[in-house]
Structure 1
Amino acid sequence: MKILFVSLIIIIIDQISKLFIKGFSIPFLGIAYKGMYIGEKIPVIGNFFRITFIENPGMAFGFNPGINLKLWLSLFSLVASIGLIWYLYKIRNQRFALRFSIAMILGGAIGNSIDRIFYGVFYHYAPMFYGKVVDFLDFDFFHFSLFGKEFYRWPIFNVADASVSIGVILLLIFYRQPQNSPKPDEKEKSSDENMSNNMNIEPNKPTELDKDVLTSKDKRKGENKLQHGDSDHGEVIPD
């Protein structure tokens, strides 16, 4: 399924951006990149858009499910990603827009799942499945409240979060749209074929009704010949 390349590109961009924010090292190549420290802010477009490094231990918008539910959240993300791959295979012949939106959601889901499952082990701060998600995109859109919590800036997110959100929006737009209807010529051709199949009539072949009509006409012609004294042996001579 070529559409999975969309998910792969999103995963690569997401993980590379997170590694440059958090930092990484490759000892056998002698590479060590420090990255940013937690809470550090780098203005990009004034105060409207900043790169702000935080680690999200739980779900979106900073909601923390607690240590007891952390494992289940990581496992759910993994199972959901597998389910999306299966669904993409199931709809492999559907419209591109529908498959593209699912591929975007899948890429974002896998991107954040990598953080939750492996980052704790990679960065030596937690066992597998207990890692934290790296967030850094910080926008000052508007002030709002959600579930009783006040947000004076848009919650900090990452590339994977953006991919999931865009994918969901596209899915809502394209999922209910009907398939392209066949062209008029195709409809007429299909209708003619169905009618021919249902009646089991070959083209240009006389039907049983036509045969009966022809036979009746032949009989009437024969009767007319006899009435006028015609026969197959010539004219009849009166006595």
Structure 2
Amino acid sequence: MSLKKASAIIVLILIIDQVSKFYIKTNFMLGEEIRVFDWFRILFVENEGMAWGAKIPGQYGKLLLTSFRLVAIVGIAYWLWDSVRKNGSRVLIVAVSMIFAGAFGNIIDSVFYGEIFNHSYNQVATFLPEEGGYGTLMHGKVVDMLYFPLWSGYLPDWIPFWGGDYFTFFEPVFNIADSAITIGVALLLIFNKQAFPESKEEKRTEKAYS
């Protein structure tokens, strides 16, 4: 698979991701929700940190997280380029392209959104507001909106630790970029042998010791 085709996948995912985030940010107030189905809702939340809302504590936690993401994206870009150069399998290149696009999509939020949008508390945000953004460069918040509460209710009392508690499955709110990363990782796990085929030398070694 060529680098041109991999780039097309990345651009497509980035366009869908950023268009959806711009729409949510400029049409929804923070916490606003649209119920599409009982099990699927559009819910606008912002994530200051990592997956599941985890954050690095301290004054420079957000800066460190964004810096780490920038370093990581360089590593993923090299992985993609090297996979194409070595004629890696289609599954591998598609998966890495999706992971790169997802990571890059969330980096755009983290780096720029604090500068180009004002806050969304009790108001719909404005793109490039005259008074300036809600944060500074490298201190933006990731926009999430996809919510799939597939089941909600009280757990049976016989379940250890959580018995009797109110529980929602699936509770995290995520975005298109997160979805691309998840699908990319899933492809690598499910189609591991196709993504990382054994070389002829490795096969000879296995036969020699079998």
TM normalised by structure 2 equals 0.73
Match of 1:230 in 2: none
| Cα drift, residue 102 of structure 1 | 0.4
Aligned ranges for residues 152-231 of structure 1 at < 5 Å? Answer: 152=168, 153-177=170-194, 179=197
Aligned ranges for residues 1-12 of structure 1 at < 5 Å? Answer: 1-2=3-4, 3-12=6-15
Aligned equivalents of 1:181, 1:82: Cα separation in 2: 27
Task: Kindly indicate whether structure 1 or structure 2 has the higher relative contact order, using CA contacts under 8 Å at least 6 residues apart.
Answer: 2
Match among 20, 27, 35 for residue 17 of structure 1: 20
SS of aligned partner of 2:60: helix
Deviations 1:71-101 (A, max 9, x none): 1111111111111111111111111111000
Match of 2:32 in 1: 40
Structure 1 stretches of 4+ with a deviation exceeding 3 A read 175-182
Match among 137, 140, 148 for residue 139 of structure 1: 148
| Cα drift, residue 142 of structure 1 | 4.3
Query: Structure 1: which amino acid aligns with 2:8?
Result: F
Aligned residue pair count: 166
In 2 relative to 1, CA 151–135 (structure 1 residues): closer, same or farther, beyond 3 Å? Answer: farther
Aligned equivalents of 2:167, 2:188: Cα separation in 1: 27
Query: Structure 2: which amino acid aligns with 1:154?
Result: E
The answer for unaligned runs of 5 or more in structure 2 is 118-132, 156-161, 201-210
8 A contact 1:107–1:163 mirrored in 2 = yes
Aligned equivalents of 2:78, 2:198: Cα separation in 1: 24
SS of aligned partner of 2:138: coil
Match of 1:100 in 2: 94
The answer for unaligned runs of 5 or more in structure 1 is 24-34, 183-239
CA RMSD of aligned residues (A): 2.2
8 A contact 1:142–1:154 mirrored in 2 = no
In 2 relative to 1, CA 122–174 (structure 1 residues): closer, same or farther, beyond 3 Å? Answer: same
Match of 1:76 in 2: 68
| Cα drift, residue 65 of structure 1 | 2.2
Aligned equivalents of 1:88, 1:22: Cα separation in 2: 31
Deviations 1:133-191 (A, max 9, x none): 000101113469xxx9x962420000000110110010112344464999xxxxxxxxx
In 2 relative to 1, CA 162–94 (structure 1 residues): closer, same or farther, beyond 3 Å? Answer: same
8 A contact 2:39–2:151 mirrored in 1 = no
Aligned equivalents of 1:99, 1:44: Cα separation in 2: 34
Match of 1:52 in 2: 43
Larger radius of gyration: 1
Name which of structure 1's ranges 76-85 and 109-118 shifts more when overlaid on structure 2.
76-85
Aligned equivalents of 1:121, 1:176: Cα separation in 2: 44
TM normalised by structure 1 equals 0.64
Q: Percent identity?
A: 42
Whether 1:89 aligns to 2:92 is: no
Aligned equivalents of 1:102, 1:169: Cα separation in 2: 11
